[in-house]
Structure 1
Amino acid sequence: MSFFEEKNPEMDRYLENHASSEPEILKKLRRETFRKTTQPHMISGYQQGRLLTMVSKMLNPEKILEIGTFTGYATLCLAEGLSDHGRITTLDVNEDLAYLPRKYFTESKFSHQIDFKIQDAKEFLRNSGEFFDLIFVDADKENYAEYFRLIRPRTKSGSVVMFDNVLWYGKVLEENPRQKSTQAIKELNDLIAKDEDFENLILPLRDGVNFLRRK
């Protein structure tokens, strides 16, 4: 039985029915993502979206960085917690899909606080001199370990970092994985666990979120 076959749809419905509702704009975006994209499962979705919003609201960050925009669902969730003068920079390389997040960013009340860039995240991180209060990574898994190495210098004490899909359908349990993405995720989880500058916990939400805080 695979990692996802063990999930209980009835439990998911129960969890959603007993949590705060998502804003109407996110409901619309979620529906359009499933209608117009070939891999709608890549969207953060309801439960994870509410987690991102709660973390952002608790931090009330000035600067957020998101690596991997997709259709912008997680971006809008994170933006809910921004300070009044805060800003979220969200990066992606998929120009063909960029029209969709741009549409919803424009409609959002946070439009003036969202900086959407079509840019390689590694290039951005190497050239950026900014420090971020909150960073969320949900992008190409093969670069996860490299993203972490580049993110470290862009964090400060109290910064929170979240990596999505760190259980990778349960493939992280494979001792000698052949898939490069699995290798990279295992390397990431090992790097984080050994890094004394961070405290972390892997949350088994959906496909796993590695939740880090810089000491």
Structure 2
Amino acid sequence: MDPIEEYIHRMSDAEEPLLHELDRRTNLRVVQPRMISGHIQGKLLEMLVRMTGARRVLEIGTFTGYSALAMAAGLGDDGVLHTIEVDDELESFARSFFDRSPHGSKIRLHIGSALDIAPQLGECFDLVFIDGDKREYPAYYRMLMGDGATPALVRPGSVLIADNILWSGKVVQPVAHNDRHTQALLEFNRMVVEDPRTENVIVPLRDGLNLIRVK
């Protein structure tokens, strides 16, 4: 850890012991552990949930459950967080930590495609964290905002947070014709900044967060 990062960690609220254990076990047992949100990003997500007063939260891409638990900590007792993960092999790992958390009762874990599941939940979401398949980011955005034929899953004042939006700097490099991940992220960022229904800012935290507010 470089000195600035170490200072940021030291001068921010401490990581909850259960989240620290989750991070450690993810790094020991799961392929591509760097996909975990981690302490500082997790704390930011928790604070955004709390500061916006969100009561209904959607997460696209659970992974091992770190960000879901972080956001659930920011919810009031009447809040609900729906988190959707396509990889069923991660279900038992995530649930084992949800079951041990005082905030786990606020979390509803769904296994499958977010594009199929989210519209069936019957919710209008106050905050959405997008961290699923990067190739599907444009489709997630169309689903959330509505396209005229289907109702929107968010409302004016809702906040969308899209992770990995800088994609290790690939968004400013020549893109290979078969690099569907980077192509989709470029399309997503263009869709957002050109959409008159929203306002946004990209924050260069870790791999980049696109913070989007529905007008």
**Alignment match of 2:64 (pick from 71, 77, 88):** 71
Please give the alpha-carbon distance, in whole angstroms, between the structure 2 residues aligned to 1:89 and 1:210.
20
Letter in 1 for 2:57: I
Equivalent pairs: percent with the same residue?
A: 39
Contact 2:87 2:112 in 1 (8 A): no
More moved, 169-178 vs 111-120: 169-178
Report the 3-state secondary structure (helix = DSSP H, G, I; strand = E; otherwise coil) of the residue aligned with 1:157.
strand
Contact 1:66 1:136 in 2 (8 A): yes
Please give the alpha-carbon distance, in whole angstroms, between the structure 1 residues aligned to 2:52 and 2:75.
8
Q: Deviation of residue 58 (structure 1)?
A: 0.5
Gaps of 5+ in 1: 1-7
Instruction: Give runs of ≥4 in structure 1 deviating > 4 Å.
Output: none
Partner of 2:168: 169
Q: TM-score, normalised by structure 1?
A: 0.93
Q: What is the aligned length?
A: 208
CA-atom RMSD, angstroms? Answer: 1.2
- Matching of residues 1-215 of structure 1 within 5 Å: 9-152=2-145, 153-178=152-177, 179-215=179-215
Q: Deviation of residue 175 (structure 1)?
A: 4.6
Q: TM-score, normalised by structure 2?
A: 0.93
Gaps of 5+ in 2: 146-151
Q: Deviation of residue 176 (structure 1)?
A: 4.2
Q: Deviation of residue 10 (structure 1)?
A: 2.2
Contact 2:119 2:153 in 1 (8 A): no
Please give the alpha-carbon distance, in whole angstroms, between the structure 2 residues aligned to 1:212 and 1:71.
25
Q: Deviation of residue 83 (structure 1)?
A: 2.1
Q: Could you list the per-position Cα deviations for residues 170-204 of structure 1 after superposition, in whole angstroms to 9, with x for gaps in the alignment?
A: 01012544310000000000000001111100000
Letter in 1 for 2:185: I
